[in-house]
Amino acid sequence: DVWTARVITLFPELFPGVLGASLTGKALKDGAWCLEPFDLRQHGIGRHRNVDDTPAGGGAGMVLRADVVDAALAAARGPGPVIYLSPRGAPFTQARAQALAAGPGVTLLCGRFEGVDQRVLDHHGIEEVSIGDYVLTGGEIAAMALIDATVRLLPGVLGNAASTEEESFSAGLLEHPQYTRPAEWQGRQIPEVLTSGNHAAVETWRREQAEELTRTRRPDLWARYLADHDND
């Protein structure tokens, strides 16, 4: 069965959105993966299909009702984990994208307003995942980021499979700088080694650049990289 992302959202019309463009879009059209949006509103209560109510204990905003989210989950849930996109969640990583790509798919719950009634998360033991330490208005952009990062790792989605193995994070390092024609631009040359035809020298240069970039820009990644390589 094809890898499938099921997305519970108040805005199903936002999908596929950016996921319909470029390589992920072509792969979607070709059937290399599948996308199923589920409209949370359809599970709303009463004539007005209410999905939210005021927070218990008071305060600003609205909270998505547990019973409404539960009904949507019953309709949407497929094989693979259920994830609630949330700024309180575990940070999303390339390693997580790889793990998700190796599975059958994912069911994503997009929050809105002040989020989701805690009881439905606790009742189903739903995992929370964050795409970064900032607060978005809703979970849809986060869901798209998670899907994009995962789908491009599926076999056959990128033209050149090797390109996912060499890029940022796959070796625990940021990627080396890239160059293309023209050979000289604004008085700036492409580093000579890259046009030397010496593949071993190119590899060495790229690794050194990747290490230097990671050390200076991301001391957190660099410390982990050193620790991992000490264990070798």
Residues binding ligand SAM (CB under 6 A): 85-88, 110-112, 114-115, 130-132, 134-139, 142
Q: How far is the CB of 53 from ligand SAM (least distance, A)?
A: 15
Q: How far is the CB of 91 from ligand SAM (least distance, A)?
A: 9
Give whichever of 146 and 157 is closer to ligand SAM, judged by the CB atom.
Answer: 146
Give whichever of 44 and 115 is closer to ligand SAM, judged by the CB atom.
Answer: 115
Q: Which residues of 51-60 are buried (b: 16+ CB within 10 A; e: fewer)?
A: bbeeeeeeee
Closest by CA position to 204, among listed 183, 196, 219, 190? 196
Give whichever of 132 and 219 is closer to ligand SAM, judged by the CB atom.
Answer: 132
Q: How far is the CB of 20 from ligand SAM (least distance, A)?
A: 21
Q: Residue for token digits 């033991």?
A: 125
Q: How far is the CB of 195 from ligand SAM (least distance, A)?
A: 42
Contact 193, 202 (CB under 8 A): yes
Q: What's the CA gap between 56 and 79, in Å, rounded?
A: 33
Give whichever of 44 and 139 is closer to ligand SAM, judged by the CB atom.
Answer: 139
Contact 84, 136 (CB under 8 A): no
